[in-house]
Structure 1
Amino acid sequence: MSPRQTPEEGTSPDTGTPAVAAPTPGSVATPAIPDEVPPAPDVPSVAPIRRLLGRTSGEGDRRRLVIVAAVVMSLVLPAFAIVQPLIVADLLDRLEAREPYGRTLTMLGVVVAGELALAGVYFWTLKRLAEDVILDTRRAIITRVLRMPVDRLHAYRSGDLMTRLGSDTTMMQSVFTAGIFSIISSATLLVGSMVVLWFLDPLLMAILVGTVLAVGVLLVFLLAAVRRVSRAVQYEVGGMVSEFETSLKGLRTIRIFGASRRVSNRVARRARRAHRQGRRLAGVQAVVEPTVNTAMQAAVTVVLLMGGIRVSSGAISVGELVAFVLYALGVVVPMSDAARALTAVQVGLAAVDRTEEITTEPIELADLGIEEGAAPDPHSPVTDLTTAPAVELRHVDFAYPDGEAVLHGVDLVAPTGDRVAIVGPSGSGKSTLLSLIGGLYRADGGQVMVGGRDILDGPIEEVRDRLAIVEQDAPMLAGTIRENLLLAAPDADDATLCRVLNDVGLGAFASVEGLDREVGEGGAELSGGQRQRLAWARALARNCDILLLDEPTSALDAQTEWRLQNLLNSRRFRAITVLVVAHRLSTVVGSDSIVVLDQGRVVATGTHDSLVETCRLYREFAARQGLADSPKATSERSEEPEAGGGDGVDTQRDVTAGT
């Protein structure tokens, strides 16, 4: 440790800047979770329960039948508990009077056995219903997250999303197994017991009613606190998981910069915040159940004392007193169970709130203004790459949701089969153009055309079926080589996969064992060059018409780059239209057309030779990379840099969206 660094260094207040390393190029940087937990309702609300049951019952007739069966059993089960005290009282009176009691004892046994059997079926039904709801919610979250508009997805941290998918959905189980139906059952038993008690002894009944009302008023205030604090606990746990996941992804960078202690301190702070919220929740729960239990026990004690006095005076019999006490327990126990169930429901509803935040997000197609599954507009041109340019942008304007304008009136034409390169300073909007062509964002103005048809005039899937992409960071899914290749070409056979691997110089992976080789999380088992070549193989395995390349050779040596360029120019792939974004001009010098972007505007279009002669910005790029002899232009530009050029334009948007 250097003299300037102390063990506490980096443990700035939680509102400070995260002490984690910057994301690697091409990774998605997501905003830090704010310290303020989103507000929860101040009073208990049945609206989330109603929505949850509505969503659950909407899954089909079988699911509705299960819910109806659970409700019926919730109402029937208390009947066994209501009948039992009457049978017990009759049994005691018969024993005291020395009358035959065999039939009464048999009836009691049948009632107890029936209750046990029905309770088993009831519990199994609730567990199954809860697991079905958890599965449906997880599927909804998975589908929504994977189809959420890109700009909305950036508003969440991946660790927090995983917490919502995992622990939050699991906590929803309590809404069913220890919540809604338990409350129905407890309420039924409570009402039934109180009705019988009224007929047995109105005076003792009045004592219990007073206690029940007092406890009910107390629960209204306490349960709102339970839900509010539960939401805070789940929020902080999500933040902790997000911090930890971010740290794992940047572990090599963190260690090399000697930031392990600082980052671990930050993650530990999140853990301490979750711990503090957990203690708050424990404190609130510690007030709810003991308060209810103590009040109920006091009520039973008073009932016993008053009952004893009334027995001694001859007002009621011993059997009636025993029956009354059993029914009093039929009030006390349901109240305790209801308090416990309501607490569990509030904890579960906090989880429901968090999952609903995701499931109510818009899906990508709706955000693009396209109705899911929509047929092509009958008035729009048919996609035809033989008579229209493969890709055409007409006066395209675009700004990110945060207001940062990126593209201004961009015009671009990529004829079918041509190689079109897009070059320019960092932050000039190059990768954003590819994102617009892929339908990841919607242009604010102008048109993005594929095969002569605006991509918004029909199913976006029809456009994407024609596309393949190689990205700079070459993202890999955890799994095998085969699984990553089949992502782009699900119907490809092993022979095709082996051929494209050999094409990109990964012949060693072309054996059957190689196809089953695990790549690790994010391709961690592969080198950077192997990942990028595997991304090339994945794109080439797809029978695409348009290939989007975003810095496709950044991790490759010159020989491999030359090999891939020749591969694209071979007869097998020559019909593919290629749009390539590159800083290394050696990748694009042979392109049919090169588009130069600066500050989101097209400043020049032409071939390499013509641009060296006519475009000062391109000439400088070429000179710095040894592809043009223009020292004067280089000198002029170093003395008088153009707006938007140079190192100073490497904006945060480059990190978050790859512009």
Structure 2
Amino acid sequence: MPGNPGSAPRWAASGERPKNIRGTLRRLIGYMGDYRREVYAGIAFSVLSTVFSLIGPQYLEAITDEISGAVLGGRDIDTDLIAGTAFFLLAVYALSMLFMTASDYLIPAASEKIANLVRRDLSRKINTVPLNYYDGRTTGDVMSLMTNDADIIGNQSADCITQAVSSVTIAVGAVIMMLYTDWKLAALSALPTAAGLLFMLFIIRHSGKYFSRQSRDLGLINGIVDENYYGHEIVRTYNGEAGAMERFAEVDRDLFRSSFLARTMGGTMPAAINFASNISYVAVCVFGSMLVVEGEIGYGVVVAFIVYSGMLSRPLMMLSESLTSMQSVSASADRIFAFLDTPDMPDESTKTARPGKVRGEVEFDDLRFSYVPGREVIRGLNISVRPGEKVAIVGPTGAGKTTLANLMLRFYDADSGDIRIDGVSIYDMKREDVRSLFCMVLQDSWVFDGTIRENVAYGCGGVSDSRLEEILGDVGLGPFLESHAGGLDAKIAASSLSSGQRQQISIARAMAKDAPLLILDEATSSVDTITERRIQDAMDHLMRGRTSFVIAHRLSTIVNSDIILVVRDGSIVEKGSHSELMALNGFYRSLYDSQFEGCD
């Protein structure tokens, strides 16, 4: 029987996903693992750079006071003092630059490593989640996780955290130094900045939802592009361009609205901070000049405050940008963590059962299965197949034929009942051990960009070139192989092959694996009649001595089967050889006659 759901994955820091930016970012920092050290080191260097830059204005004040005092007092300027102070100031700013350079090296390096970590975990997760996870999702949405969301995490996560810490350090340091220099001017210049900060927090509070919608809409639009690209022939054949464009335009409008609102609200923060900064400059210049006239402060204090005001506005601008990035990072991280938190298939590392020398006896014992709870597709199925038999499975579309193949290969696990191979339950075996017993050709053929050899010998090393050439000849691809100068090492792409050629390569791949059990799901549905006959001869040779399951709509291809199982509404309604079923004059006879109606 199928096992219980597996334990939570290693990246699940808690049982529940965070519902806010703070919680998501806290989890993201924990997720970074050892790369946090590089991020922390980058932050430390950035803080040190900030500290040295904060010291500088104090020496500018000393230089300004010396020059202004000498000019107003009618004495000579102490050039040695000016030179010494300027040299020390230059050293301070040089150290600040060196520390910032180190930070600028560490943070991008950590960002790329984090992006690589995200992609590795996503790639690993794709292979561990149950197939039913993908049933309600588009390819584009999953691709958006691997590309857009992973890129945002990699490019912005470490940067925005470092920028936020650095900006807070600069702001706090600037305020402290301003209070140390003159508390009156500090209080006056802080008022506009505080107003800008409050406005920034208000915007952040209300704009987060638009970044989440933007990330979601981007996944939807990628899904539509993916569907229209791979199905462009169907779209054009059925004159569906207008409908496809209308659907794309609808989602694109949603993406435009969410992106526009996210960018607009995020863009108001720098403008507000810049406005507050300008007000602060004016206040420092006007009231600072008044205090100089009254003799309460010197010109150097005004110069230092102008520098500090600029330093105070700059980190707030940085903070507004980093908080905007944090919202985008949070939205992407939330989507990624939602995927990573999806329960894995049950762990089967402790399973050791496996048939010895496989004879090929397959039993289905009271098998029940439903894709959606309460709506059974397979109902109490009982079949016993003897070793070496060729079993055809026929029936109308949606009857559950392909579902049987998926259950045998454990792409899905049954709700109840059992499937046994040579008396060993497939649920007592590891999934990979079960699948190693089968070679298979699906109705939807799959070819990847690579060489002919890589495609045919996929997953089965040790197949000789002569054997591969023999297999290609058996499935009708001999002329195709000869037409490529590189032979088996010639590069091919799915887009350059006809549907029939892709299916022939899939059949050749199954023959190269040479497993003891065989599943053919409409294996010749995309080839012409002449090629089908040639492939059928090769298939007959391949199936000899092997237990084979042939799922077919074209009944002419399975008339020589040992057993034909007629499936209807998830149950076996008829069973027997072709001649026996025709003699019954039942459902199989009606299916067969409907295909050959009007033929002499």
TM-score, normalised relative to structure 1:
0.81
Q: Which string of whole-angstrom CA distances, capped at 9 and with x for unpartnered residues, describes residues 181-205 of structure 1?
A: 1111111111122122222212222
The corresponding residue for 1:574 is: 544
The corresponding residue for 2:350 is: 375
The corresponding residue for 2:589 is: 619
1:509 is paired with a residue of what secondary structure?
helix
More moved, 129-138 vs 276-285: 276-285
Cα distance change on mapping 1:482 and 1:447 into 2, 3 Å = same
The corresponding residue for 1:475 is: 446
1:105 is paired with a residue of what secondary structure?
helix
The corresponding residue for 1:457 is: 428
The corresponding residue for 1:413 is: 384
Alpha-carbon distance between aligned partners in 1 of 2:511 and 2:203, rounded to the nearest angstrom: 61
Alpha-carbon distance between aligned partners in 2 of 1:49 and 1:185, rounded to the nearest angstrom: 17
Where does 1:596-635 land on structure 2 (aligned, <5 Å)?
A: 596-614=566-584, 616-625=586-595
2:59 to 77, 80, 87: 87
2:177 to 173, 180, 196: 196
1:442 to 413, 425, 431: 413
Deviation at 1:569, TM superposition (A): 3.8
Is this contact kept in 2: 1:484–1:538, CA < 8 A? yes
Alpha-carbon distance between aligned partners in 1 of 2:471 and 2:588, rounded to the nearest angstrom: 34
The corresponding residue for 1:250 is: 231
Which residue identity is paired with 1:473? D
Where does 1:285-434 land on structure 2 (aligned, <5 Å)?
A: 285-363=266-344, 366=345, 370-371=346-347, 374-376=349-351, 382-386=354-358, 389-401=360-372, 403-434=374-405
1:125 is paired with a residue of what secondary structure?
helix
Alpha-carbon distance between aligned partners in 2 of 1:289 and 1:88, rounded to the nearest angstrom: 28
Which residue identity is paired with 1:584? R
1:476 is paired with a residue of what secondary structure?
coil
Is this contact kept in 2: 1:375–1:458, CA < 8 A? no
Cα distance change on mapping 1:139 and 1:150 into 2, 3 Å = same
Deviation at 1:517, TM superposition (A): 4.4
The corresponding residue for 2:486 is: 513
Which residue identity is paired with 1:618? Y
* 1:46 aligned onto 2:19: no
Alpha-carbon distance between aligned partners in 2 of 1:414 and 1:111, rounded to the nearest angstrom: 84
The corresponding residue for 2:196 is: 215
Deviation at 1:316, TM superposition (A): 1.3
Deviation at 1:463, TM superposition (A): 0.9
Deviation at 1:210, TM superposition (A): 3.5
Deviation at 1:559, TM superposition (A): 4.2
Deviation at 1:385, TM superposition (A): 5.0
Alpha-carbon distance between aligned partners in 2 of 1:163 and 1:428, rounded to the nearest angstrom: 34
Cα distance change on mapping 1:558 and 1:258 into 2, 3 Å = closer
Is this contact kept in 1: 2:39–2:158, CA < 8 A? no
Deviation at 1:499, TM superposition (A): 2.0
* 1:550 aligned onto 2:521: yes
The corresponding residue for 1:75 is: 47
Q: Which runs of 5+ in 1 are unaligned?
A: 1-39, 632-659
Alpha-carbon distance between aligned partners in 2 of 1:74 and 1:390, rounded to the nearest angstrom: 68
More moved, 327-336 vs 531-540: 327-336
Is this contact kept in 1: 2:111–2:159, CA < 8 A? no
Is this contact kept in 2: 1:174–1:348, CA < 8 A? no
Cα distance change on mapping 1:540 and 1:547 into 2, 3 Å = same
Q: Which string of whole-angstrom CA distances, capped at 9 and with x for unpartnered residues, describes residues 100-155 of structure 1?
A: 22222211111222222222221121111111111221222233234432221122
2:122 to 122, 138, 141: 141
Which residue identity is paired with 1:376? K
Alpha-carbon distance between aligned partners in 2 of 1:553 and 1:221, rounded to the nearest angstrom: 63
* 1:589 aligned onto 2:570: no
Is this contact kept in 1: 2:518–2:543, CA < 8 A? no
Deviation at 1:227, TM superposition (A): 2.5
Is this contact kept in 2: 1:123–1:177, CA < 8 A? no
Deviation at 1:69, TM superposition (A): 1.1
Alpha-carbon distance between aligned partners in 2 of 1:464 and 1:450, rounded to the nearest angstrom: 12
Alpha-carbon distance between aligned partners in 2 of 1:103 and 1:496, rounded to the nearest angstrom: 84
Deviation at 1:516, TM superposition (A): 4.2
1:115 is paired with a residue of what secondary structure?
helix
Cα distance change on mapping 1:382 and 1:263 into 2, 3 Å = closer
Q: What RMSD in Å do the two structures reach over aligned CA positions?
A: 2.6
* 1:561 aligned onto 2:542: no
The corresponding residue for 2:466 is: 495
Cα distance change on mapping 1:276 and 1:549 into 2, 3 Å = same
Which residue identity is paired with 2:453? R
Deviation at 1:491, TM superposition (A): 4.4
Alpha-carbon distance between aligned partners in 1 of 2:295 and 2:557, rounded to the nearest angstrom: 105
Is this contact kept in 1: 2:354–2:433, CA < 8 A? no
Alpha-carbon distance between aligned partners in 2 of 1:172 and 1:67, rounded to the nearest angstrom: 14
Alpha-carbon distance between aligned partners in 2 of 1:625 and 1:41, rounded to the nearest angstrom: 57
Is this contact kept in 2: 1:509–1:515, CA < 8 A? no
More moved, 460-469 vs 396-405: 396-405
TM-score, normalised relative to structure 2:
0.89
2:32 is paired with a residue of what secondary structure?
helix
Is this contact kept in 1: 2:370–2:378, CA < 8 A? yes
Cα distance change on mapping 1:403 and 1:483 into 2, 3 Å = farther
Deviation at 1:345, TM superposition (A): 1.5
Which residue identity is paired with 1:286? G
Deviation at 1:83, TM superposition (A): 1.0
The corresponding residue for 1:637 is: none
Is this contact kept in 1: 2:354–2:429, CA < 8 A? no
Is this contact kept in 1: 2:140–2:222, CA < 8 A? yes
Deviation at 1:451, TM superposition (A): 3.6
The corresponding residue for 2:38 is: 66
Is this contact kept in 2: 1:151–1:401, CA < 8 A? no
More moved, 448-457 vs 466-475: 448-457
Deviation at 1:519, TM superposition (A): 4.1
More moved, 127-136 vs 244-253: 244-253
The corresponding residue for 2:455 is: 484
Q: How many residues align?
A: 572
Deviation at 1:342, TM superposition (A): 1.0
